[in-house]
Homo-oligomer: A and B are copies of this chain.
Amino acid sequence: MGDERRKFTRESAAQRKEALIRATLSLIAEKGVRGATVRGIAERAEVTQGLIRHYFSSKEELVTAAFDYHMTQMTDLTFAPAAEVEGSAADRLRVFVQSSLTPPVVDPRSIALWAGFLNKVQHDAQMKETHARTYIDFRDRLQELIRAALEEAGIPARPERLYQLATACNALIDGLWMEGGALPEAFAPGELSQIGLDAVGAIIGLNFEAASAPRRGAQR
């Protein structure tokens, strides 16, 4: 009886690091960066706290790694669906807007992570740079989708106007994303992406709803 030393199995560095990062993200989403304590992270990853020091030289480094991991994952999640679309440019834009405004991108956890990291982003130069780069990358890709869709429709736009359209659509999507994540019960499934599609269409002056794939009780 009594205290027995804890059993353990060795894992590869990559696996352990990822497990620690996932545990970190999970805790940051719940309690913020300061609430994600080294002991809490270790417990959630089912290791003891000393192990964290073995893979990350400080909590700071672990948090930074977790931020990079999360940003990469979110970017992939958002862009992958549109990249697979083979149809028209309008189709790609539509799929992009939809995947940005449905789970798992829209999710309370995802917005909690965004909020949890914001303080660090505002103070840490490296994280600030990653954040700005991700934002610009997102907006540029959206701008390219808009450009292609307008050109395809025979109403090309000048670069300055394209920039404004992309900024507005980006803000619209971010705002809907934020509200869907912060007030999940306030929106019916599909409502966000429906509103988002209509509004993006209105902003860029293109009704791509009726176009190809009909949705929501196709008339006629």
A residues with CB within 8 A of B: 30-35, 108, 111-112, 114-116, 118-119, 121-122, 131-132, 135-136, 164, 167-168, 170-176, 178-179, 182-183, 186, 195-196, 198-199, 202-203, 205
Chain B residue contacts of A131, Cβ below 8 A: 182-183
- In the complex, how many angstroms separate the beta carbon of A198 from the nearest chain B beta carbon? 7
Which residues of B sit under 8 angstroms from A31, Cβ to Cβ?
34, 119
B119:A32 contact, CB within 8 angstroms: yes
Q: Contacts A118-B112, A119-B31 given; indicate if A135 touches B172 (C-beta within 8 A).
A: no
Check if B168 sits within 8 Å of A172, measured CB to CB.
yes
3 pairs of A and B residues whose beta carbons are closest in the complex: A171-B175, A175-B175, A168-B199
In the bound complex, residues from chain B placing their C-beta under 8 Å from that of A122 are 108, 112, 182
Instruction: Report B-chain residues with C-beta under 8 Å of the C-beta of A112.
Output: 118-119, 122
